[in-house]
Amino acid sequence: MVVSQSAFALMIFTDRLFLSRIDALHIASALGGGVTFFVSVSLFLGVMSYATALVAQYYGAGQLHKCPRVLTQGILMAVACQPLLLVIAWLMSGIFVAMDHPPQQVVLEKQYYFVMMAGALFVMAKACFAAYFCGIGRTRVVMITDVIGVLLNIPLTWMLVFGKFGFPELGIQGAALGTVIATAFSVVIYTVFYFNRFHRERFKVLASFHYDPAILRRYIRLGLPSGFETFVGAATFNFFLLLFQSYGVAEGAAMAIVFNWDMLNYVPLIGLNIAVTSLIGRAVGAGDMTRTNQVMAAGFLLAIGYSLVLAVVFIVFRFQLIMVFSTPEQDFSEIASLGSRMMLGMATYVLADAVILVSAGVLRGAGDTRWLMNTSMSLHVLMMVSQFIMIRYLDADPLVSWWGFVAMLLALAVIYLRRLLGHTWRKPSRLARVMAE
């Protein structure tokens, strides 16, 4: 899963690297449009991705025939949500103007955003398939699929952005279109694995293609809080990002570059988070809670060790890492100066991300989604309000706003860790309610 999510990070990284060869405005626009797209679909993705825990719990309980039924319910929800996503795309398109972005940036952000929203169904279907294969422990399938998707996406995006080998020169639209095409191709690869003979017969796949109200109710009951947690986190992050970009193009480009490097830490940890969720879900389904301590210890060892190494790299080579994205024949000094100082804050919070993602994976796998939703929503809304006051009313320096964001992540890590070390989420009566349909 770490390799799989790293492949996704590489795809986004190279997309923005290609756009940096045009100008800094394109980097900022891709970040604004991309994060707004994620906000638009995050509620649905959060719900559907909970299939990892559900499938793992059924797998741990030995109810293999119910595993593919979870996937079927997820695909049904994805199809049902598509008309609503078109309405959301129309409503969200005005947010770039509302955040006082420069007119030329608004045009580019909308182009990227609308292309991504047009391919939202593929993104949701891919999330359902990936969650299913993670739940049954076949994470190698997810890795193979994502790596193949990236190997297609990188050259395809290069050709579509710059108009190579007879393709039209589409600029920022080409970056988004390349991602959509690669995602659709990944769904095709998943279906090949899903319908292979061994898997089809072991999990009774052909008998799973029907509406199952009991599983769907459990899916929504446990997955909806997870979806709201994802949505509020993404929405407040996007709000902060768009507010920060109102400082100017240089500040927006600096943030885009810093978050591009942040993906090298955050996205692989998402893979670890998914793996932890699957292993904890399997232990809950099997009624073997002693196994959870081993999973937690392994998760923290891997996550903190990895993030610590990257934190050192981000501090020592912060200026050189920012200059990787320097735009040819343009003054990059303002972006480099601000970005290199922001890298110090990022090196601080990457360790907090490690704690947050491992803790969240454990609690989500154990079905403690309502507590995660309430806690995450409360802190993120508090961050959003404080950032709005700092930027719009107090006219705070960009670095003050940035360190406020870092402080919120550190607080979230402490609160999640306290919950994890407690015993509420382990109570047998609560786990019995989690498994009930």
Q: What is the 3-state secondary structure (H, E, C) of 133-172?
A: HHHCCCHHHHHHHHHHHHHHHHHHHHHHHHCCCCCCCCCH
Predicted pLDDT at 306: 94
How far is the CA of 401 from the CAs of 18, 216, 231, 251, in angstroms? 29, 42, 22, 12
For residues 229-258, average pLDDT = 82
For residues 422-437, average pLDDT = 81
Predicted pLDDT at 264: 82
How far is the CA of 259 from the CAs of 5, 245, 256, 308, in angstroms? 15, 13, 5, 17
Predicted pLDDT at 351: 93
Q: Domain spans of the chain?
A: 2-435
Instruction: Give residue for tokens 């108009």.
Output: 163
263 Cβ neighbours under 8 A, 6+ residues apart? 9, 12, 13
Predicted pLDDT at 9: 67
CA-closest candidate to residue 29, choices 90, 88, 91, 114: 114
pTM: 0.79
Q: Find the angle CA(155)-CA(157)-CA(161) to the nearest 5 degrees.
A: 125
Predicted pLDDT at 329: 67
Q: Are 67 and 203 within 8 A, CB to CB?
A: yes
Summarised one tens digit per residue, pLDDT across range 348-375 is 999 999 999 999 999 988 888 889 989 9
Backbone Cα Rg of the chain: 21
pLDDT level of residue 427 (50, 70, 90 thresholds): confident
CA–CA gap between residue 88 and residue 224 (Å, rounded): 18
Tokens linked to 57: 């719990």
Summarised one tens digit per residue, pLDDT across range 101-149 is 788 888 888 998 999 999 899 999 999 999 999 999 898 999 999 889 9
Q: Are 346 and 258 within 8 A, CB to CB?
A: yes
Q: Are 55 and 67 within 8 A, CB to CB?
A: yes
Q: Are 48 and 219 within 8 A, CB to CB?
A: no
Summarised one tens digit per residue, pLDDT across range 96-112 is 888 777 888 888 889 98
Q: Are 305 and 265 within 8 A, CB to CB?
A: no
Predicted pLDDT at 328: 67
Q: Are 184 and 116 within 8 A, CB to CB?
A: no
Position 67, amino acid: C
Instruction: Say whether pLDDT at 6 is over 90.
Output: no
Mean predicted lDDT score pLDDT of the chain: 87
Q: At what angle do helices 139-162 and 2-20 cross, to 10 degrees?
A: 10
| Other residues' Cβ atoms within 10 Å of the Cβ of residue 300 | 19
